């Protein structure tokens, strides 16, 4: 069964450093998402991406964040200058249809630890 | 403000018992409501999805109900198993172009032998 994959599974970085989290969505999917989950808190929406551009972003997704689909398969989240409060689990998700209540499929997540 | 609240926050039951988890939401306009299961350190996995016109949906031992008038949903788990130990998250999609998810706070279920 096709699945969303994410790398790395765990990333440790120093405050102020740039990190890139990678995701490979399910191949025929059209919508892509990033969410984050701070330890002990609920999952929060960061950004959605469709047709090679951001379709919606939350207030969390400030200028330090960017997303890119550099080729036909990868979908990346970049944090330019990490802060301690960026430590969280980051989930990538994708879904098939451009409209309608189709299900988002989540990757296993990348645990980001900022020291 | 669009919010999704769940209760209880945590629940401990014995293997074989049934349980019901609750979800209240204020998301409007509303597209659909889902229940996801999230194992510790893993991504959420979809259990059920209901649109506003559906009242109930089953997936094996999981049965979800929806009352769109009162904006409440429940997830009933029958004959619980040790592998049911996880967080159960109510997720609501507003009726918007991106169908982003608004996550509930989750209920952490522990099933004991």
How far does A54 lie from chain B, in Å, by closest CA? 10
pLDDT digits (tens, 9 = 90+) for A13-45: 999 999 999 999 998 898 999 999 998 888 999
How far does A45 lie from chain B, in Å, by closest CA? 7
Subunit contact A55:B103, Cβ cutoff 8 A: no
At A72, the pLDDT band (50, 70, 90 cuts) reads: confident
pLDDT recorded at residue A100: 59
pLDDT recorded at residue A6: 96
Measured in Å, how far apart are chain B's first and last C-alpha atoms? Answer: 41
Subunit contact B101:A45, Cβ cutoff 8 A: yes
- Mean local confidence (pLDDT), B65-90: 95
Q: Higher pLDDT residue, B94 or A9?
A: A9
Q: How far is CA B98 from CA A73, B4, B24, in A?
A: 20, 18, 22
What is the Cα–Cα distance from B32 to B17, expressed in whole angstroms?
A: 29
pLDDT recorded at residue B15: 97
pLDDT recorded at residue B1: 75
Q: Which residues of chain A are within 8 Å of residue B89 when distances are taken between CB atoms?
A: 42-43
pLDDT digits (tens, 9 = 90+) for B2-32: 789 999 999 999 999 999 999 999 988 888 8
At A96, the pLDDT band (50, 70, 90 cuts) reads: confident
pLDDT recorded at residue A20: 97
Checking if the pLDDT of A103 tops 90, the result is no
Average pLDDT, chain B: 92
Nearest to B100 among A45, A91, A111 (CB): A45
What is the Cα–Cα distance from B33 to B64, expressed in whole angstroms?
A: 10
- Mean local confidence (pLDDT), A51-72: 91
**Which of A63-77, A89-103, B95-109 is the most confident on average?**
A63-77
What is the Cα–Cα distance from B89 to A4, expressed in whole angstroms?
A: 19
At B97, the pLDDT band (50, 70, 90 cuts) reads: low
pLDDT recorded at residue B10: 96
Residues paired with residue B90 on neighbouring β-strands, in sequence order? B35
pLDDT digits (tens, 9 = 90+) for B30-53: 888 999 999 988 888 989 989 888
Q: Phi and psi (nearest 5°) for A84?
A: -55, -40
pLDDT recorded at residue B52: 82
pLDDT recorded at residue A14: 97
Checking if the pLDDT of A99 tops 70, the result is no
What is the Cα–Cα distance from A95 to A97, expressed in whole angstroms?
A: 6
């Amino acid at each position: 069964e096709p699945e969303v994959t994410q790398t790395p599974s765990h990333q440790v970085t120093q405050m102020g450093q740039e990190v890139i989290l990678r995701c490979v969505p399910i191949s025929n999917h059209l919508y892509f998402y990033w969410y984050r989950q701070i330890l002990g808190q609920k999952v929060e929406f960061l950004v959605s991406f469709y047709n090679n551009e951001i379709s919606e972003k939350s207030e969390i997704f400030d200028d330090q964040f960017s997303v890119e689909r550099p080729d036909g398969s990868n979908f990346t989240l970049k944090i330019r200058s990490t802060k301690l409060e960026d430590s969280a689990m980051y989930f990538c998700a994708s879904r098939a249809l451009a409209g309608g209540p189709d299900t988002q499929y989540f990757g296993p997540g990348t645990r980001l630890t900022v020291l | 403000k669009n919010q999704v609240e769940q209760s209880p926050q945590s629940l401990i039951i014995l293997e074989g018992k049934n349980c019901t988890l609750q979800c209240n939401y204020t998301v409007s306009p509303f597209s659909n409501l889902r229940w996801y299961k999230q194992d510790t350190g893993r991504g959420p996995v979809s259990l059920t999805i209901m649109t506003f016109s559906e009242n109930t949906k089953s997936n094996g031992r999981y049965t979800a109900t929806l009352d769109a008038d009162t904006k409440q949903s429940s997830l009933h788990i029958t004959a619980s198993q040790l592998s049911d130990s996880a967080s159960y998250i109510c997720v609501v999609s507003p009726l918007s172009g991106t169908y982003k998810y608004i996550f509930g706070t989750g209920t952490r279920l522990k099933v004991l032998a």
